[in-house]
Amino acid sequence: MAVNQGYFAFDVQQPNAAHKDLVLAVDFNFYGTRMVTASSDHRLKVFDRKDDNWNLIDTWTAHFAEITDVKWNGPFMGEVLGSVGEDGTFRLWQENATEIPQGGRRFSCIYEIRSSTNVPFMSLDFKNINRETWVALATRDGFLTVLEPIDHENLTNWQSIHANYLIGIPNREDESSFKVAFHKEKLPSWTAIRAGLDRKALSLAFAAMNTVIVLRAVKDANSNYRFYQAAELTGARALVRDVAWANGSMRGWDVIATASKDGCIRVYELRPEGSGSGTEFVPTTSTPEIKEPIGHQTRGSRNAPSGIGAGLAGGSNTKAPVREAGFSPGSIKETVTMTEELNLHQGAMWRVAFSQGGEVLVATGDHGAVTTWKRAMNGRWLEYAEVNVTSE
């Protein structure tokens, strides 16, 4: 790779740097010094940044089909990354620094799990609190799985703490979109804690077709996690392709952004009930019952209940049903407000992310550019830069 005007680009002249097919996912480690790329050629590539250059460290065949998502784990448990592929598996890879670079054996698989619904995974995300790790997985039919190590000091053995459908299963012929994103900070917002939310609660945004379901999980008296629906983010007129949860719990409310196929970036604010709100754009009350999207019926002849009913229904693939807010001790009721709808009118949006501090929003889509917005003093998000990555 080479650096030019502050932006890094692949140098295809570097031996073995390029994939042999489309690159489907890219992720950086916590410090921004390492990058992993996943491709349709079934391979992962890891690069290290040194002296303003990106050097290829290793390439290996990670799955028996195209790799749809890849993520680095946090920095406290060694160099570990996770990947999911169309072969229906999630694999956890750990680096052995004693192996020679580019030998194909530097990263070894320490854990593997197959999709319990026989439908491939399409999204994953990690959450870390010091040396504790959780991972969320979403399949193409909307089955959400959350895993936790049996011993947080050992990432080779995991257990499921949640496994369930949150909406009706899309038809096979329908285009589907599911994405998971954890709230990455150690603590929830201080207003949520003051309202009664457990300080150790897990928070997860699950983009399901044209809506986003916000889940929180608190431990019961037996130290088992109980998931409940905190809010539902609506307003998208097409599939939600990506979701991001901003850092900044000390601001007093949560900020979540979505990227939709309808060409819009939407920004939502999530607050505990009764805590007040700022400038409102399109208010929407939270804690609705999860409903099956219109036009997406359950596959086959089985009539599966939607929403919370699906979670409560028995079955070998369900565990830890989603409950309503306020049902368990340590849970709270919250309201969600859509504060911004950013439409570039240039095609579908595919990716959205926040800066480390949560004050800058970055998105890209079919228009071939990276667009950034910054939050103004009045709470509005103002576009301030655009990088056209397709121009020379």
Beta bridge partners of 8: 3
Within a 10 A sphere around the Cβ of 191, how many other Cβ atoms?
20
Domain 13-172: what homologous superfamily? YVTN repeat-like/Quinoprotein amine dehydrogenase (2.130.10.10)
Q: Is 142 exposed, middle or buried (0-12, 13-18, 19+ CB in 10 A)?
A: buried
Q: How far apart are CA 43 and CA 66, in angstroms?
A: 8
Q: What is the pTM of this model?
A: 0.82
Confidence of residue 207 (pLDDT cuts 50, 70, 90): very high
What pLDDT is attached to residue 295? 38
Q: How far apart are CA 285 and CA 265, in angstroms?
A: 20
pLDDT tens digits along 10-58:
554 466 778 888 989 999 998 889 999 999 999 999 999 888 788 999 9
3-class DSSP string for 68-82: EEEEECCCCCCCEEE
Helix or strand (DSSP H, E) at 195: helix 190-195
| Contact call for residues 328 and 196 (beta carbons, < 8 A) | no
Report the CATH fold assignment for 177-275+330-391.
Answer: Methylamine Dehydrogenase; Chain H (2.130.10)
Residue 301 makes CB contacts below 8 A (sequence gap 6+) with none
Confidence of residue 278 (pLDDT cuts 50, 70, 90): very low
Q: Has residue 293 got a pLDDT over 80?
A: no
Where in the chain are all domains bearing CATH 2.130.10.10? 13-172, 177-275+330-391
pLDDT tens digits along 303-354:
444 443 344 343 344 455 565 555 556 678 889 999 999 988 788 999 999 9
Length of the chain: 392
